[in-house]
Each structure stands twice: as C-alpha cells, then as structure tokens.
Amino acid sequence: MDTLLGILIPLVGTSAGAACVFLMKKNLSGIVQKALLGFASGVMVAASVWSLLIPSMDMASDMGKFAWVPAAVGLMLGIVFLLFMDKTVPHLHLDADEPEGNAAKKSLSKTMMMVMAVVLHNIPEGMAVGVVFAGIQAGESNITIAGAYTLALGIAIQNFPEGAIISMPLKSVGLSKGRAFLYGVLSGVVEPLAAIITVLLTGLITPVLPYLLAFAAGAMLYVVVEELIPESAEGAHSNIGTLAFALGFVIMMILDVALG
C-alpha cells in the first residue's frame, strides 16, 4: 500500500496543476511561467542529487574508490536515453513554432505534440519514483520509506506547475476547460505507469539498482538543462527563473535531508 500511494503522489501534483484551468480565467503570465519553470528545475536537480545520485554511490560503497562508477555510467546513459527520445518522439515545446522529433510524424496535432513534450519529461520522473520504491522492496538499507516519499512529493511539487503550464495554454488555443484539464492529467499518467513497471521488475533490477538510480537522475537532469532552464531564462526577467530555481532546490534539499 505504501508503494501504491507513493507512486500516485506525482500524478496528484499534475492533476492539481491541470485543475488551474477551472480556477483561472487568463493564461499564465510570462513571469509566472518563468517562476514555475525555475522552481521545477530546482526541485528536479536537488532530487537528482540527494534522492538518486548519492544513494547510488552509497550502494556501491563496497567498490571503494570506484564507488562513483555506477553513478557516472548510469547518469550518462540516462542523458543519452533522453537525447534519443528527444530526437525520435514528435513533440512541441511551449512558444515554439516548429515541432521536434521524427519529421515523418509531424502530422500530429499541435495539442498532441505539446502533451508529448510533457510526457517526455514525465518518463524519467516515473522511473525515478519506481526505482526508489523498488529499492525499498528489495530491502536496500540506503533507501528509506521517508526518502522515497520525499522524492515522490518533490516530483509532485514539480508537476504542479507542469500541469498548469500544459492545461492553460491548451485552453487559450480553443480547447474546452474539460478537455484541457483531461490532457493535462493524461500527460502525467505515464509517471505511475513507468513507476509500476519498474516496481514489478524489482527482482530483475536489484543487481543494477545503483545504475538505475543514476540513470533516472541523468534523464531528469537532461530535461532540466535542455528544456526547463532555457525556457525559464528566455526574454526579460530571467532572474525570476533563477531565484525560483534556488527556492525549489533549497526546499527539496531540506525535505530530503530532514525526512530522508
């Protein structure tokens, strides 16, 4: 039951953010979007370090001075995986005119490509939650239930602005509030699905758990550096995104250290 509740927490964050479409009449302002993107970036970077990379190295402590190997290898594999997905899956970022991904699939609607952009973000986040709960089920002492819930909560905090940022623009381009909300929620469904699959494979992934933790961290960091930070720094008032990044990082760091 703890595992099921934990893997559903990020979806709650996405759904709550998407529900903003019912509460707000206008689209999010540019400054608010910068702040939300910056905050989400800070949360993801802190979660990658304290909830994923540090536990990965702790698990490999028996390797002595080479305990960094699983973390380094896994992180690079995660980045390469997201780079591959970014180049092959058709998607469209906010305020972008041209879609990215496989050119043969650019016939997809703009709405669906915007949703796919968020889905790409959510795959590594779902994997990250699944990996930590799989570690708990495997009896890994370096991962606590409090730490796992902290990671899930941190991702849920990050998902709130993400849900709003996907649903509000969809409403502004003509979709009904109900459909915009539905697309926002559906963009986050991939997270619990990825987490459940990872947990179900616990017996198989236990031997390579340090690598998988770092893999999830690398994928999350790719999203932050490639998309979230550049979008939060575009145009005027880029310092808003920077300050929000620091706030998100500090909050997630405090949660992880205090509760994990």
- The whole-number average pLDDT for the span 241-252 is 92
Q: What is the pLDDT of residue 7?
A: 92
Does position 104 have pLDDT exceeding 50, yes or no? Answer: no
The pLDDT-based confidence of 103 (bands split at 50, 70, 90) is very low
Count of Cβ atoms closer than 10 Å to residue 199 Cβ: 22
Please indicate whether residue 250 or residue 164 has the higher confidence score (pLDDT).
250
State the Cα–Cα distance between residues 104 and 120, nearest whole angstrom: 18
State the Cα–Cα distance between residues 48 and 216, nearest whole angstrom: 8
Q: pLDDT (tens digit, 9 = 90+) per residue, 156-176?
A: 887 887 788 778 877 777 778
- The whole-number average pLDDT for the span 239-243 is 91
Could you give the maximum distance between any two Cα atoms of the chain, in Å? Answer: 58
Q: What is the pLDDT of residue 19?
A: 93
Tell me if residue 100 falls in helix, strand or coil. strand
Please indicate whether residue 214 or residue 236 has the higher confidence score (pLDDT).
214
